[in-house]
Amino acid sequence: MYVAAKGGEKAIRHAHALLAKRRRGKTNLPSITLQQIAGQLTLAVDRVMAEGSLYDTELAALAVKQARGDLIEAIFLIRAFRTTLPRFGATIPLDTAQMLVRRRVSATYKDLPGGQLLGPTFDYTHRLLDTSLGVERECSEVDDQASAADASRLPSEPVAMPRVTDLLGQEGLIEASPEDTGEEPFDITRAPVSFPVDRSTRLQTLARGDEGYLLALGYSTQRGYARSHPFVGEIRFGDVEVMFEAPELGFAVSLGRVQVTECQMVNQFKGSAEVPPQFTRGYGLVFGQCERKAMSMALVERALRWKELGEEPGAPAQDEEFVLSHCDNVQATGFVEHLKLPHYVDFQAELDLVRRMRAEHEAQMKEAAE
Amino acid sequence: MNAPLLATGTTSTTGAMPEIRYNFAYLDEQTKRMIRRAILKAIAIPGYQVPFAAREMPMPYGWGTGGVQVTAAVLGPDDVLKVIDQGADDTTNAVAIRGFFEKTARVATTTVTTQATVIQTRHRIPETALSENQILVYQVPIPEPLRFLEPRETETRQLHALAEYGLMHVKLYEDIARHGHIATTYAYPVEVAGRYVMDPSPIPKFDNPKMDDCPALQLFGAGREKRIYAIPPHTRVRSLDFEDHPFKVQRFAKPCALCAATGVYLDEVILDDRGGRMFVCSDTDYCNTRQAQGHVGELGVPGGGFPQNAVMPGRNSGIHDVPPSHPVQDVDPRVKPGDDGISGGTPPAGMTREGTI
Amino acid sequence: MSVQTLAAGFQDNVLESQSVFRAAMDAMARPGRVVPLVCALAPPAPLNAEAAALVLALCDYETPLWLDARLAAEPAVAEFLRFHTGAAIVAEPMAARFALVAEPLEMPEFSAFAPGTPDYPDASVTLILQVSGFAGAGWALQGPGIKGETRFGAAPLPHDFTARMAANRALFPLGVDLLLAGAGGVVGLPRSVTVREG
């Protein structure tokens, strides 16, 4: 038996038709292609892949297009697709020391093995609107220059570019990076999180967390709310090989390359009874080129480690349950926006209560006056 | 090239993108098993919130993802599904969720409560008594009854483990001290099978008594908060109260304006900007059924002129009362739908009729 | 044993898993009631079809599975279950989320299995006991899911079954949950149930 629903169904249908029309915009203009989005709105696509936690530029471009440029909506689309994918296992940890580096800067050393590599960055651009971009067909000079730069910068074999933290580590000046135990990391998409969390849960949650939220929290640590004296040891962006060890093969195979941004913050640590004074790490790793996010993540990650490092708690960015429970923008947007759903049953109950309390109040006032 | 993209994550690089196909009821089988295991444990430990790895659904968190996952895990091809939001089948979100299951599970759907085998609901329990062959799935935004008293999960988990519910009683008692009665009107906490204190989801407290000794299985899904809990059939569900301040439910001073039902939960509908309003059943199926049976309310039309799911009555209803100061009252929860209490004869002791529309 | 000679799993994994789960859910929600469980599985002996169906419907790589001595003595059983579910077969009962018992008379104490923790009472085992039938009405049951009182019988069950169930009930909200499978049906005995003799 099928019972046709009424009013609501028609309204929804019409709303969706309108949405499709608005998304398409003026039909006398060509529809934007996924190649254009993936090729020209790369940072939007990167953010969607990072917070959608799915590395697929074409699907991310599709999501950006379908979401009319609303990146949180695009992230949501990617997440809903991602959740239906089977999970085959965990890859071997990425070796970012072997990254094919496209950009690498360190704030702690003037020069270092591998050098500073500015790469494609907004840094040092003058933020002046460039009206020459307003034409449909841009000068091909840009292409030529860029590809020349790319070609000169991207050798087919990775050049040795040791991580700053590794250099510090040789002197024992910085805490050791946690050992790879070979254990499968906790998967926040496959098991419910309970507090307190381990490192893998913390990093995963932050890696898919909202960029704006982490930016604000990271910023707060710089303003005295969990101050940790950070230095950018290094930010690097480039291509890393993803290796997977299939149990039936017995050896690792390459699944391909992904682009990631890694940020290692170097923070002060006074030492303790067991540990001599040394630097500590805050770690950030994000799909694509998402420097702001990687840096913010590193700041917050470090702030969340207050307990193991024997620091004073109290700042918002140190509150693990608060920070990690609220950093997912798909969850946040859903729950905030659900307030626009009908609530008239509960409102009726509240309405009644307020009316009753007002009546009681009035009666009391009357009584008092008599 | 156009082979369906069955959750492989691969995409073509040129031309049309492959079609994406999803499993029966959207969720993959491993996810369903995980949810099903959580449901079994939830039933075994009535009222306890079982953590589960809620998946990201193609609808926003807070819009019923928990209920949808529970329904998807439970639903079979022979089920008949009813979806209500605020008691109504045609509210937009109910329509969207019903459409989701029609599309992904191709199950039969209905608006008739008695025909449904699975009812997914947001904020109401149907007025029609449920039967043993039915499953009621609640959408839950905040499953933790103690959450607004203690925001930390680490703390509330402890409190449940120790059955330490003093905090909740203090809160309710503070209400009484301040207002002379408990000021919680919906999501009113209950104690299940004498052990766990549970959030019944934001149903009006009017509906709480229906949970007690209910012949249907009641399942609760909170997607964003990743919790599933349950009340088995015929389980004692007690709304928290005090000996000197027993639990009471709302009771409306007037019957439904369309079907004349009493002892049911009503929505207030504003008819104009001069104080004109009417009260109609929030449960549209209940209201329509009564109208079809020939019950006519004050503003109804014989034969059911205003099927609630279609159109609301026009504006010239002719009633422009002053807003009622007190159209709803609290009564003993044993009053069941259809009982003719207030609008009929003498109001029960302690209740007044002032303020009726 | 090669994959070719393995007994088949569900014909239609999606729909059969669903109907077997629904039977298990109904059974758990209505303790003592024999819920029909129809399936066409022909698992290697001594595993019975009903218990096999429950495992196939509920277990996977996330649920360590324990087999009693009688089932463990037949490698084909573990082979069959591992192939169709991906579940790890564990030797330590305490590590199991599901435990499959072909010989209830010989089974270990309930206390050998995980009862959950005060914070997470759901982190407990579900025991699947193979029975040959649900005859008799030897026990009276009360608790959530039961209107008033209901009677129930099944065999074989441990000799000290009533005492075990009483001890299990006393642990509530911790405890183990039971599914009795066989003779075309399944019966649920969650930890919330009170079992009385006579």
- DSSP character string of B38-94: HHHHHHHSTT--EE--PPPPSS-TTSSHHHHHHHHHH--TT-EEEEEETTBSSSHHH
Shared domain for A58 and A102, answered yes or no, is no
CB B357 within 8 A of CB B328: no
Shared domain for A194 and A262, answered yes or no, is yes
What is residue B334's predicted lDDT score, i.e. its pLDDT? 53
Distant-in-sequence, close-in-space partners of B3: CB < 8 Å, separation ≥ 6: B18
> CA-based diameter of chain B, in Å?
77
CB B62 within 8 A of CB A334: yes
Q: Give me the mean pLDDT over the A83-108 stretch.
A: 89
**DSSP states along A94-162:** P-GGG-EEEEEE-SS-SS-TT--B--S--TT------GGGGSSS--THHHHHHHHHHHHH--SSPPP--
What is residue A370's predicted lDDT score, i.e. its pLDDT? 80
**Are B98 and A5 in contact (CB < 8 Å)?**
yes
Please say if the pLDDT value at position B140 is more than 60.
yes
Q: Which of C187, C179, C184, C176 is nearest to C152 (CA)?
A: C187
Rg (CA), chain B: 22
**Which residues in chain A (185-204) have CB-CB distances under 8 A to chain B?**
189-196
**Which chain B residue has the Cα nearest residue C26?**
B217
**Are B195 and C172 in contact (CB < 8 Å)?**
yes
Residue type, B262: T
CA distances (Å), origin B239, targets A160, B44, B79, B190, C159: 68, 21, 31, 4, 40
CB A101 within 8 A of CB A161: yes
Please say if the pLDDT value at position A233 is more than 70.
yes
What is the CATH class of B29-239?
alpha beta
Please say if the pLDDT value at position B234 is more than 90.
yes
CB C115 within 8 A of CB B42: no
Three-state secondary structure call for residue A369? helix
Domain count, chain A: 2
Give the pLDDT band of residue B161 (cuts 50, 70, 90): very high
A12 interaction partners in chain B (CB closer than 8 Å): 92, 95-96, 99
Is residue B268 within 8 angstroms of chain A, CB to CB? yes
- Give the one of B41, B73, B76 whose C-beta lies nearest to C122's C-beta: B41
What is residue C101's predicted lDDT score, i.e. its pLDDT? 98
What is residue C9's predicted lDDT score, i.e. its pLDDT? 93
Please say if the pLDDT value at position A307 is more than 50.
yes
Q: Give me the mean pLDDT over the B126-152 stretch.
A: 96
Six token digits for residue C149:
């009182």
What is residue B111's predicted lDDT score, i.e. its pLDDT? 94
**Are B90 and A9 in contact (CB < 8 Å)?**
yes
Six token digits for residue C92:
């330590």
- Give the one of B9, B90, B108 whose C-beta lies nearest to A6's C-beta: B90
Six token digits for residue C36:
């029909």
CB A53 within 8 A of CB A79: yes
What is residue B8's predicted lDDT score, i.e. its pLDDT? 38
Give the pLDDT band of residue C183 (cuts 50, 70, 90): very high
* Residue of A345, A350, A356 to mutate, testing the B interface (most B Cβ within 10 Å of its Cβ): A345
What is residue B325's predicted lDDT score, i.e. its pLDDT? 46
What is residue A152's predicted lDDT score, i.e. its pLDDT? 53
Is residue B257 within 8 angstroms of chain C, CB to CB? no
What is residue B346's predicted lDDT score, i.e. its pLDDT? 35
Shared domain for A48 and A170, answered yes or no, is no
CA B333, CA B206: separation in Å to the nearest integer? 8
Please say if the pLDDT value at position C161 is more than 90.
yes
Shared domain for A222 and A321, answered yes or no, is yes
Distant-in-sequence, close-in-space partners of B315: CB < 8 Å, separation ≥ 6: B271, B272, B276
Average pLDDT, chain B: 83
What is residue C158's predicted lDDT score, i.e. its pLDDT? 95
Chain B closest CA to A42's CA: distance in Å?
A: 16
Q: Give me the mean pLDDT over the A129-150 stretch.
A: 70
**DSSP states along B286-328:** HHHHHHHTT---TT--TTTSS-TTT----S-----PPPPS--E
CA C174, CA C98: separation in Å to the nearest integer? 16
Six token digits for residue B13:
């690089």
Q: Give me the mean pLDDT over the B301-314 stretch.
A: 49
Give the pLDDT band of residue A143 (cuts 50, 70, 90): low
Q: Give me the mean pLDDT over the B255-272 stretch.
A: 93
Q: Give me the mean pLDDT over the A42-51 stretch.
A: 98
SS3 of C135-163? CCCCEEEECCCCCCCEEECCECCCCCHHH
Please say if the pLDDT value at position C2 is more than 50.
no
Q: What pTM value is reported for the model?
A: 0.87
Three-state secondary structure call for residue B121? strand
Alpha helices in chain A (DSSP H): 7-24, 34-40, 42-52, 57-66, 71-82, 141-153, 164-170, 199-207, 211-222, 291-304, 320-325, 329-337, 344-369
Distant-in-sequence, close-in-space partners of A186: CB < 8 Å, separation ≥ 6: A193, A197, A198, A200, A201, A204
List the single range of A272-281, B4-13, B288-297, C161-170 with lowest mean pLDDT.
Answer: B4-13
> In this structure, what DSSP letter does residue A12 have?
H
**A51 is a domain residue:** yes
What pLDDT digit, counting tens, does each position of A114-135 carry?
889 999 999 999 899 999 998 8
Shared domain for A166 and A39, answered yes or no, is no
Give the pLDDT band of residue B250 (cuts 50, 70, 90): confident
CB B263 within 8 A of CB B337: yes
**Are A191 and B202 in contact (CB < 8 Å)?**
no
Quote the percentage of chain C above a pLDDT of 90.
92
CB A237 within 8 A of CB A291: yes
Please say if the pLDDT value at position A154 is more than 60.
no
Six token digits for residue C60:
């996977």
- Give the one of C15, C119, C144 whose C-beta lies nearest to B46's C-beta: C144
Shared domain for A39 and A114, answered yes or no, is no
B27 interaction partners in chain A (CB closer than 8 Å): 84
What is residue A180's predicted lDDT score, i.e. its pLDDT? 81
Structural domain containing residue C117 = 3-197
What is residue A157's predicted lDDT score, i.e. its pLDDT? 56
Chain B closest CA to C31's CA: distance in Å?
A: 10
- Give the one of A86, A341, A345 whose C-beta lies nearest to B282's C-beta: A345
Give the pLDDT band of residue B273 (cuts 50, 70, 90): confident
Give the pLDDT band of residue B87 (cuts 50, 70, 90): very high
Please say if the pLDDT value at position B7 is more than 50.
no
Shared domain for A59 and A104, answered yes or no, is no
Q: Give me the mean pLDDT over the A296-300 stretch.
A: 98
CA C99, CA A147: separation in Å to the nearest integer? 62
Give the pLDDT band of residue A3 (cuts 50, 70, 90): very low
Q: Give me the mean pLDDT over the A214-234 stretch.
A: 92
Q: Which of C81, C61, B29, C99 is nearest to A247 (CA)?
A: C61
Shared domain for A162 and A47, answered yes or no, is no
> In this structure, what DSSP letter does residue A26 have?
-
> CA-based diameter of chain A, in Å?
94
Please say if the pLDDT value at position A95 is more than 70.
yes
Shared domain for A169 and A255, answered yes or no, is yes
List the single range of A122-136, B275-289, B304-318, C29-43 with lowest mean pLDDT.
Answer: B304-318
Q: Give me the mean pLDDT over the A67-92 stretch.
A: 92
**Are C147 and B42 in contact (CB < 8 Å)?**
no
**DSSP states along A345-359:** HHHHHHHHHHHHHHH
**Are B44 and C30 in contact (CB < 8 Å)?**
no
Shared domain for A321 and A174, answered yes or no, is yes
Q: Give me the mean pLDDT over the B223-237 stretch.
A: 97
CB B127 within 8 A of CB B264: yes
Average pLDDT, chain C: 95
Is residue B271 within 8 angstroms of chain C, CB to CB? no
Q: How many Å separate Cα C47 from the centre of its chain?
A: 12
CA C113, CA C176: separation in Å to the nearest integer? 7
CA geometry: angle at C63 spanning C62 and C65, to 5°? 145
How would you class A93 by CB atoms within 10 Å of its CB: exposed for 0-12, middle for 13-18, buried for 19 or more?
Answer: exposed
CB A11 within 8 A of CB B92: yes
**Which chain B residue has the Cα nearest residue A191?**
B53
Distant-in-sequence, close-in-space partners of A94: CB < 8 Å, separation ≥ 6: A240, A241, A242, A258, A260, A285
In the numeric block, the tokens 């000046």 are attached to A173
Q: Give me the mean pLDDT over the B1-16 stretch.
A: 44
CA C80, CA C9: separation in Å to the nearest integer? 8
**A161 is a domain residue:** yes
CB atoms within 10 A of CB A254: 9
Q: Which of A82, C13, A12 is nearest to B98 (CA)?
A: A12
CATH (domain of C27):
3.40.50.11310
**Are A338 and B141 in contact (CB < 8 Å)?**
yes
What is residue B306's predicted lDDT score, i.e. its pLDDT? 47
CB atoms within 10 A of CB C157: 21
Distant-in-sequence, close-in-space partners of C65: CB < 8 Å, separation ≥ 6: C55, C59, C81, C85, C87, C88, C89, C90, C96, C97, C98, C99, C100
Size of interface B-C (CB pairs under 8 A): 111
Average pLDDT, chain A: 89
What is residue A182's predicted lDDT score, i.e. its pLDDT? 80
CA B29, CA A117: separation in Å to the nearest integer? 47
Give the pLDDT band of residue A271 (cuts 50, 70, 90): confident
CA distances (Å), origin B141, targets A209, B67, B167, B199: 21, 10, 21, 10
What pLDDT digit, counting tens, does each position of A334-368 carry?
999 999 998 989 999 998 889 888 998 899 899 88
Shared domain for A65 and A112, answered yes or no, is no
Is residue B83 within 8 angstroms of chain A, CB to CB? no
Domain count, chain C: 1
What is residue A221's predicted lDDT score, i.e. its pLDDT? 94
In the numeric block, the tokens 């790469």 are attached to A119
The better pLDDT of the pair C2, C194 is held by C194
Please say if the pLDDT value at position A159 is more than 90.
no
Q: Which of A233, A207, A215, A211 is nearest to A287 (CA)?
A: A207
Which residues of B are annotated as catalytic? 47, 256, 259, 281, 287
**A50 is a domain residue:** yes
Q: Give me the mean pLDDT over the B167-180 stretch.
A: 88
**Which residues in chain B (5-44) have CB-CB distances under 8 A to chain A?**
7-9, 11, 13, 17, 20, 22-23, 26-28, 30-31
What is residue B332's predicted lDDT score, i.e. its pLDDT? 62
Q: Give me the mean pLDDT over the A210-217 stretch.
A: 98
Does this complex have an ipTM over 0.90?
yes
List the single range of A92-96, B82-86, B322-326, C193-197 with lowest mean pLDDT.
Answer: B322-326
Q: Within 13 Å and on the Cβ side, how many CA atoms surround A345? A: 28
Give the pLDDT band of residue A241 (cuts 50, 70, 90): very high
Is residue B250 within 8 angstroms of chain A, CB to CB? yes
Three-state secondary structure call for residue A13? helix
Please say if the pLDDT value at position B280 is more than 50.
yes
CA A306, CA A323: separation in Å to the nearest integer? 13
Three-state secondary structure call for residue C52? helix
Shared domain for A195 and A315, answered yes or no, is yes
Give the pLDDT band of residue A239 (cuts 50, 70, 90): very high
What pLDDT digit, counting tens, does each position of C117-151 carry?
999 999 999 999 999 999 877 899 999 999 999 99
**A340 is a domain residue:** no
**DSSP states along B146-190:** TTTT---HHHHHHHHHTT--HHHHHHHHHHHHHHSS----BS--E
Structural domain containing residue A182 = 96-119+140-326
With residue C28 as reference, give the H or E element that holds it.
helix C13-29
CB A53 within 8 A of CB A63: no
Q: Give me the mean pLDDT over the B6-20 stretch.
A: 57
Is residue A157 within 8 angstroms of chain B, CB to CB? no
Q: Are strands B196-198 and B249-252 parallel, antiparallel or unpaired?
A: unpaired
Q: What length is written for chain B?
A: 357
